[in-house]
Chains A and B, each alone.
Chain A
Amino acid sequence: MPGAVRFMQGNEACVEGALYAGLEFFAGYPITPSSEIAEQLSYRLPRQGGRFIQMEDEIASMCAIIGASLTGRKVLTATSGPGFSLMQEALGFAVMAEIPCVIVNVQRGGPSTGLPTHMSQGDVNQARWGTHGDHAIIALTASNHQDVFAITVEAFNMAETFRTPVVLLFDEVVGHMRERIILPQPGELALVERLRTSVPGGVDYHPYLPREDGRLPMSDFGGVHRYNVTGLYHDMWGFPSENPKVVHGLIRHLVDKIESNVDNIARYKAYYIDDARTVLVSYGASARSALHVVESARRKGQKFGLLELQTLWPFPHDIVGEAVGRAKRVIVVEMNMGHILHEVRKALTNPSNVFLVNRLDGVFITPTDIRQALRLIEGKGI
């Protein structure tokens, strides 16, 4: 039985996805263009016994969700660029202490206060490298509300599976746009629940000793196991350690648990790829303009295709290389100065065939913008 047809904003679709995934705790601070997420959850969460708190800033919001996650809850915060900058230190803590949590960044124009009500995708590399030190991260995105819902559910699933923060990189256009969505029925999408230790009380529980499969079962704060959690390098007890073997083992574990699962984490959509001579690679709202160009080109018999990425980090180099490697031209469409452009180039044996089509003025890139750039790339002039 299909679910209910609804008409809503992308931010609301994210809220619906989070609740479907089992969200129980939200902490946040108002910021355009993400505030609708906090507003909706302040209303929805307490109706089903969940908890909402508006903190004093984004730093505190990120810290609060980490605390709540340790008590066993599925947690979320939502923000935009300036707030995401403030969250970086605590995001690194969640990486180091392996705390499942989901952070939404509805991107707007930056740097600084930038363009609060306009479209940008300028935070892609911030999601990857915004917090200091070597680490791995998962960052996901989507271009339409049905996918926003599904990818939000995936974000919670991956946060639990890999014990890691997951960043949802939406943008102002998808966040504020209203469109049709069919809300999935309960059971329609798979949910991953927290893996808890089976070690009984009174027996030593090692919070940071991975199982054979690399996963680390958790124990809720307030339960029978008392252990330490720290942002310092730590041993299997969670106790600070500067032992070089411990330090090396931990950094490798933190990176490998994600990088070695890149194929499992990769989510993407391929449109008309198989025989495409010109392949557009895009993501988020920009992928909508790209798909518009591809479909109208196909109607004219031109062999265009689109690879829409939903997983941006870890970047699926092999999958991208395989999908677009045979194309004559690869056009990366993104609303920034080329954040995934370089990753796409890395994925290909002939990077000189990869071109960037972008827009930096806060105006959502149009199909005409892309077509004009294509003509220039093809040497046809505008």
Chain B
Amino acid sequence: MNRTRLVFSGSGGQGVVTAAIILAEAAVLHDGLMAVQTQSYGAAARGGATRAEVIISDAPINYPMVVQPNILVCLTQEAYSLYAATIRPGGLLLTDPHYVKIERKVDAIQQQVPMHDTVSAQIGNLMVLNSCMLGALLGLRPLVRPESVLTVLARHVPGQFMDINRRAFCSGLELTKAEKNRSEIRV
């Protein structure tokens, strides 16, 4: 049984919940996998801390929450401080150097990917940071097929924004594919 538990964390408005939904939906609708997605809610929709969870598996999923993720994405320093210690040994911790300064030593592969700077330079609209993050993630761990994500994105994103989302996703994918071919940094 293959099972990957993911946590995407950051602040409200960065699109971490949407990214989690898109990834899980791609797994279920296009890659024939099981997936559940949950999120922790607060009263504030924008600016507060957010956390979204996804489990992807080839077997039915009962307990739907993620306590210890195999893959943790942190897009704020606060999220990094809160959750870095929960990652499973040998897991993947994906951060962005613009938002997160790596502080602690964890038994995981800490991958710093300049998603913010890439999106700023190539697209100029941080609204699509989450699509870039999904690309970067799939470049490192091929959980679902990239074309599945693009199909789901096209359904979720209003037509006029699809192009920049696709470009952000592809640039994320390129960023880490290249990175992966080099050595993974173990901090």
Contact = CB atoms under 8 A, between A and B. Distances in A.
B185 interface: no
A173 B25 contact: no
A7 B24 contact: yes
Contact of B41 (A117, A292, A366): A117
B35 A288 contact: no
A7 B62 contact: no
Interface stretch (B63-71, B76-84, B136-144): B63-71
A298 to B, nearest CB: 12
A180 B35 CA distance: 7
B61 interface: yes
B42 A292 contact: no
A291 interface: yes
Contacts of A364: 65
B4 interface: no
Interface in A25-46: 32-33
Interface string A161-180: 00000000000010011111
A61 interface: no
Nearest to B61: A179
A382 B64 CA distance: 24
B39 A366 contact: no
Contacts of B102: none
B35 A366 contact: no
Contacts of B65: 364, 366
A7 B64 contact: no
B62 A288 contact: yes
A382 B71 CA distance: 29
A43 to B, nearest CB: 16
Interface in A1-42: 5-7, 32-33
Contacts of B63: 288-289, 292, 366-367
B87 interface: no
A278 to B, nearest CB: 17
A363 to B, nearest CB: 9
A7 B156 CA distance: 13
Contacts of A178: 21, 24-25, 36-38
Interface residues on A, range: 20 to 34
Given A5-B29, A117-B42, A177 B37 contact: yes
B64 A177 contact: yes
Contacts of A5: 28-29
Given A179-B61, A366-B65, A367-B63, A173 B38 contact: yes
Contacts of A33: 41
B34 interface: yes
Contacts of B61: 179
A177 B28 contact: no
B37 A180 contact: no
Contacts of B36: 177-179
Contact of B34 (A32, A117, A180): A180
B164 to A, nearest CB: 24
A291 B62 contact: yes
Nearest to A290: B62
A179 B64 contact: yes
Contacts of A116: 43
Given A177-B36, A178-B21, A367-B63, A7 B29 contact: yes
A295 interface: yes
A366 B65 CA distance: 8
B5 to A, nearest CB: 13
Contacts of B35: 7, 179-180
A2 to B, nearest CB: 13
Interface in B33-67: 34-43, 61-65, 67
Contacts of B28: 5, 7, 179-180
Nearest to B41: A117
Nearest to B20: A178
B62 A176 contact: no
Interface of B: 21, 24-25, 28-29, 34-43, 61-65, 67
Interface of A: 5-7, 32-33, 116-117, 173, 176-180, 285, 288-289, 291-292, 295, 364, 366-368
What 3 A-B pairs come out closest when comparing CB atoms?
A117-B41, A292-B63, A292-B62
Given A292-B63, A364-B65, A367-B63, 14 more contacts: A7-B24, A7-B29, A32-B41, A116-B43, A117-B40, A117-B43, A173-B38, A177-B37, A177-B38, A179-B28, A179-B64, A180-B28, A180-B35, A295-B62
28 contacts: A5-B29, A7-B28, A7-B35, A33-B41, A116-B43, A117-B41, A117-B43, A173-B64, A176-B38, A176-B41, A177-B36, A177-B37, A178-B21, A178-B25, A178-B38, A179-B35, A179-B36, A179-B37, A179-B61, A180-B28, A180-B34, A285-B64, A289-B62, A292-B62, A292-B63, A364-B65, A366-B65, A367-B63
